[in-house]
Amino acid sequence: MQTFIDFLNFRFFISPYVLVICYYIGALGVPIGSWLLALWIKRKYSLASNIYDLSKTTFIKITRTKDRILLYILFIVFFICMEVMWRMMFEFIIAYLQMREALMELTGH
C-alpha cells in the first residue's frame, strides 16, 4: 500500500521503466515502421510506386556502382550514428533519474 501512495505522491517514478520501453519503440519500431509505411504507400498508390521505380532506374543509370556502394555505406554509418545517439540520450536521462534517487536517499527522503 505504501508503494502505491508513494506512486501517487511522485516519490516513486515509473520513468526508468517507461524510458526503456520508449527506447525500444524508437530504436526498433520507428525504422521498421517507416519501412513498412513506405511499402504500404508504394502498394496503395500507383503514382508513388511509379515515382519510386522511375527514380530507382534513373539513379542506377546516372551513378557508378562504386558511388552507389559508397552511398549505401554512408547511409548505414549515419543510421548507426543515429542509433548510438538515441541510446546515449536515454542513458543520460536514466542516469539523471538514478542520481536524483541517490541524492534523495542521502537527504533522507
Render pLDDT for 68-81 as a digit per residue (tens, 0 to 9): 999 999 999 999 99
| pLDDT, position 108 | 81
Q: Name every residue whose Cβ is closer than 8 Å to that of residue 48 and which is 6 or more positions away in sequence.
A: 41, 42
Domain count, the chain: 2
pTM comes to: 0.74
Instruction: Judge whether 77 lies within some domain.
Output: yes
Co-location of 29 and 47 in the same domain: yes
**Enclosing domain of residue 68:** 64-101
Distance from C-alpha of 70 to C-alpha of 64, rounded to nearest angstrom: 10
Distance from C-alpha of 86 to C-alpha of 23, rounded to nearest angstrom: 8
- Return the sign of the alpha-carbon dihedral for residues 85, 89, 95, 98: negative
Q: 31-87 pLDDT, tens per residue?
A: 999 999 999 999 999 999 999 999 999 999 999 999 999 999 999 999 999 999 999
Instruction: Judge whether 2 lies within some domain.
Output: no
Co-location of 47 and 78 in the same domain: no
